[in-house]
Structure 1
Amino acid sequence: EEHENPIVNLRAFSDNAAKVTAFAASYMKGLDAVGAISSVKHFPGHGSTKADSHLTLPEVSKNADQIWENELVPFRALCRQSDSVMVGHLNIQSLDADNITSFSDKVISGLIRKRLSFDKVVITDALSMKAISDEGKAGVKALLAGADILLVPEDPYKLFEALNKAYLSGIIREEIVNSALARQEVMAAKPPKDFFSKYGKDIIGCPEHKKFVSEIAEKCQVVVKDEYFPRKKIYYWEDGEKTQDLKGKIFAEELRKSGVSFSDSVSDCDCVVLASFSRPRAYSGKINLAQKDKEEINKLLSCGKPVSMICFGSPFAADDYLNGLKGLICSFCDLPEFQEKAAQGFMHKADLTGEMPVRLGK
């Protein structure tokens, strides 16, 4: 929903609650088919924030009714099918004026447990994230609020000391601990006994998966704009820090296979191709384009040549340039198979048939 969100972005299926629900339901069905554990996150919704909770505490200014009718739609539909719910570190005054969501009794016990009737595992987001100032106090409050797993503390021993002290002093009752452990045991029993031998690390990048990726590459990428212009000789530009090898090396190689040549000069080309590789990165606090990249794009858009953009990462990198671009392909990732099909689509040698899951423009 928020195009400048530095941490959700491509990690969400869509900005439309119904589409998120449909995609997530299919994804969970696939996980269930092999006995893998699922989790829906970041409850009650992280998409309308502009901050990265790895660095600071994001705020959501919507009222409770707005959250119920938008952010919570996928959770309402799917949480009881999921094995767990992860609660994000969010400041949502309309839900709890005193506590952040990850250790809020009103959110965990009130909203998740009671209103949504969810009695499986509730997980906090990582306690090591900078949205949490004191993971010992946060861990105790989260457990008391109804959380079952306190995720990734920066100092596990310090957290244990805080929990043990609260237990010995009677703040944390034994039935709270037993309930959390019982829910964990149910979740941990889901994967079949041969799960890790059957689905070991060797399955990553296996031929079947690569074949599947190649097959869906055309169906996942979207041609947003495609005006006619010559494309035999191009000036190619990439955003971000320059590296020895092009990030779009495979894209460029595939263009060469189609007979395209590359020019070192904007004045000696048929068109300009901008390639963006912007994507969410934890602890970066930013997304889309750096200021120097924006300046370079504006300069290239005014060069008098047709300009096309390929978004191999965030589609929102194109937000400010929709009117000036003659072509735009949203690929959403830079896997080799996707780069190949993007190049073929640009040269009209492949039919990219995907549909946009989000709205572009501000």
Structure 2
Amino acid sequence: MKINRLVHPGFWFGKTAPEDALKLARLGVGGFCLYGGTRQQVAELTHSLREASPLKKILISADYEDGLGRWLPDAELLPSNLALGAANDENLAFEKGLLTARQAKSLGVDWVFAPVLDLADCPQNPIVNTRSFGADPQLVSRLARAFIKGLAKGGALNSIKHFPGHGNTSTDSHMAMPTVPSSVAHLQTHELVPFKNLLPLADSVMVGHLLVPALDEESLASLSAKIISGLLKTKLGYKGCVVTDALCMKALGDEKQAALAAFRAGAHILLVPENPFELLEFLHQVPLNKTLLDEAERQQDSLCERADIIPALTEEEAFQPMAFATRAAQKALTWLGPKMSLKPGQTVQIVEVGNDENLSSAPFINALRQGGVTVVNPGERADKLVVLCWRRYQAFKGKIALDPAEIARGKTALKQYPAHLLIALANPWAAKQLNASSTLFTFSPAPSFQRAAAECLLGKFFPQGHLPIIL
């Protein structure tokens, strides 16, 4: 195997120089992981990279966990996994996987790094949260299985992550080294359950940058022979491809040594190094086991063959208008506390907290106005109050809770209005910080979910969801 094929660099639209990516492609790297871009940009880049590569096939991947809309501004943001957990509907999970695969494949992306099998069982976890299907290992297993089947039906490869489980930690591995304190017994009955259930369907397993002392006191899971070769491959019998989480994440320390350790531990793909050219040069200077290289080549050959089984739809076919997210929202929305409604002719004051991404509340506000409700200007008195809580996970952010100032602002507004409603548009635990008497959980800030929240307030439907976590 050519050593360069081990490395799969990242490409950030607007940041990575296209000429550098093309140079890496010509050097024979095994693939690329894409971040951002528009539909046109992604399609053009994937074509260019494949044209430049001397390899028969390269694998192009992306973290399209909530559909392409999580990264592409001209694609729809699909329901979060936690929303699907609240809906508890395997058909919706299948449909999410199918739509994601068809859209990704139409743009030349054949490998989706999803689904997340981590459990949503730690309120302080800043990076899992709504990416998880819920706290119950069996619920996660059922919905993730359906999602995987949807991806397969659409022709995309999957990757179950982040082995052996990233849920029980309060640290973002993008920023620092997380420690999972779970005992072996707890791992066996919780974190590992979804992985054991779904390994037969896994095209690949992504190993997390996690210190799990119960399994290996010294090495991160992604660098651990005990966890990759010992637990995953030998004890659990996994025979497929093993990929590291992104090597540019700050939990690792020295990137080159970490990559070498991961390879020697049993990883077949070294994903998204911060300095791919330096890593390639380094890998040619150190001894690499030929048996491990041959195995890595076999695994990547197998993925390439499976990636081409189902032909891609055209972009027009893959992105045709759909009502999936709207249907999902109506089954996912979950209400706790007394029901509050809005009627034509009434007025409402809207206060927003935790919106550090500057997401637009226009879909929610416009839907209320269309229903005959007047949204007053900030500071004006109204009949009722709605607080929109936006806080959601973000890589390299390191926090998921509301700031003290945001909490104080939200609580002050709630006290002024006995008739109030808190709408948690993402992180459900953030709602608990405000102690509202009535809360509507959407688990997603997507426009379709905002509109559904407004229609719920207007009495057009009754929310059917149930919390898939413990508040």
TM-score by length of 2: 0.70
Partner of 2:422: 309
Count the aligned residue pairs: 349
CA distance in structure 2 between the partners assigned to 1:298 and 1:144 by the alignment: 53
Kindly provide the amino acid, as one letter, of the partner of residue 218 in structure 1: Q
Please state how far the C-alpha of 1:320 moved relative to its aligned partner: 2.5
Kindly provide the amino acid, as one letter, of the partner of residue 308 in structure 1: L
Partner of 2:126: 6
Secondary structure in structure 2 of the residue aligned to 1:273: strand
CA distance in structure 2 between the partners assigned to 1:264 and 1:242 by the alignment: 21
Partner of 1:115: 235
CA distance in structure 2 between the partners assigned to 1:55 and 1:26 by the alignment: 32
Q: Using the TM superposition, name which of 344-353 and 262-271 deviates more.
A: 262-271
Partner of 1:331: 442
Please state how far the C-alpha of 1:248 moved relative to its aligned partner: 1.3
Verify the 8 A CA contact 1:270 1:305 in the aligned structure 2.
Answer: no
CA spacing shift, 1:195–1:65, aligned 2, 3 Å: same
Residue correspondence of structure 1 range 284-299 to structure 2 within 5 A? 284-299=397-412
Residue correspondence of structure 1 range 83-122 to structure 2 within 5 A? 83-122=203-242
CA distance in structure 2 between the partners assigned to 1:19 and 1:249 by the alignment: 33
Kindly provide the amino acid, as one letter, of the partner of residue 97 in structure 1: E
CA distance in structure 1 between the partners assigned to 2:134 and 2:185 by the alignment: 21
**Candidates 46, 68, 73, aligned match of 2:193:** 73
CA distance in structure 2 between the partners assigned to 1:242 and 1:178 by the alignment: 47
Residue correspondence of structure 1 range 1-362 to structure 2 within 5 A? 1-167=121-287, 172-192=288-308, 195-196=311-312, 198=313, 201-202=315-316, 205-207=319-321, 210-227=322-339, 232-241=346-355, 247-264=360-377, 268-322=381-435, 324-325=436-437, 327-360=438-471
Please state how far the C-alpha of 1:187 moved relative to its aligned partner: 1.3
CA distance in structure 2 between the partners assigned to 1:224 and 1:241 by the alignment: 22
CA spacing shift, 1:335–1:206, aligned 2, 3 Å: farther
CA spacing shift, 1:279–1:265, aligned 2, 3 Å: closer
Please state how far the C-alpha of 1:225 moved relative to its aligned partner: 2.6
Kindly provide the amino acid, as one letter, of the partner of residue 33 in structure 1: K
CA distance in structure 1 between the partners assigned to 2:148 and 2:188 by the alignment: 22
Kindly provide the amino acid, as one letter, of the partner of residue 215 in structure 2: L
Verify the 8 A CA contact 2:174 2:396 in the aligned structure 1.
Answer: yes
CA distance in structure 1 between the partners assigned to 2:279 and 2:334 by the alignment: 47
Please state how far the C-alpha of 1:215 moved relative to its aligned partner: 2.5
Verify the 8 A CA contact 2:355 2:390 in the aligned structure 1.
Answer: no
CA distance in structure 2 between the partners assigned to 1:251 and 1:44 by the alignment: 38
Secondary structure in structure 2 of the residue aligned to 1:93: coil
Q: Deviations over 1:60-116 (max 9, x none)?
A: 111122112110000010012110100000111111112111010000000000111
Give the percent of matched residue pairs that are identical in Structure 1 and Structure 2: 33
CA distance in structure 2 between the partners assigned to 1:126 and 1:74 by the alignment: 22
Verify the 8 A CA contact 2:402 2:433 in the aligned structure 1.
Answer: no
Give the gaps of 5 or more residues in structure 2: 1-120
Q: Deviations over 1:275-334 (max 9, x none)?
A: 112111111111132222111012122224222111111111112234x32x21111112
Verify the 8 A CA contact 1:311 1:329 in the aligned structure 2.
Answer: yes
CA spacing shift, 1:229–1:220, aligned 2, 3 Å: closer
CA distance in structure 2 between the partners assigned to 1:90 and 1:116 by the alignment: 19
CA distance in structure 2 between the partners assigned to 1:139 and 1:44 by the alignment: 19
CA spacing shift, 1:181–1:230, aligned 2, 3 Å: closer
Please state how far the C-alpha of 1:226 moved relative to its aligned partner: 3.2
CA spacing shift, 1:201–1:279, aligned 2, 3 Å: farther
Verify the 8 A CA contact 1:55 1:130 in the aligned structure 2.
Answer: yes
Kindly provide the amino acid, as one letter, of the partner of residue 370 in structure 2: K
Kindly provide the amino acid, as one letter, of the partner of residue 57 in structure 1: M
Q: Deviations over 1:233-255 (max 9, x none)?
A: 21101113589x87211111111
Kindly provide the amino acid, as one letter, of the partner of residue 247 in structure 2: L
CA spacing shift, 1:246–1:36, aligned 2, 3 Å: closer
Verify the 8 A CA contact 2:331 2:463 in the aligned structure 1.
Answer: yes
CA distance in structure 2 between the partners assigned to 1:337 and 1:148 by the alignment: 39
Q: Deviations over 1:133-177 (max 9, x none)?
A: 11111111111111000110011122123322222xxxx211110
Q: Using the TM superposition, name which of 100-109 and 301-310 deviates more.
A: 301-310
TM-score by length of 1: 0.91
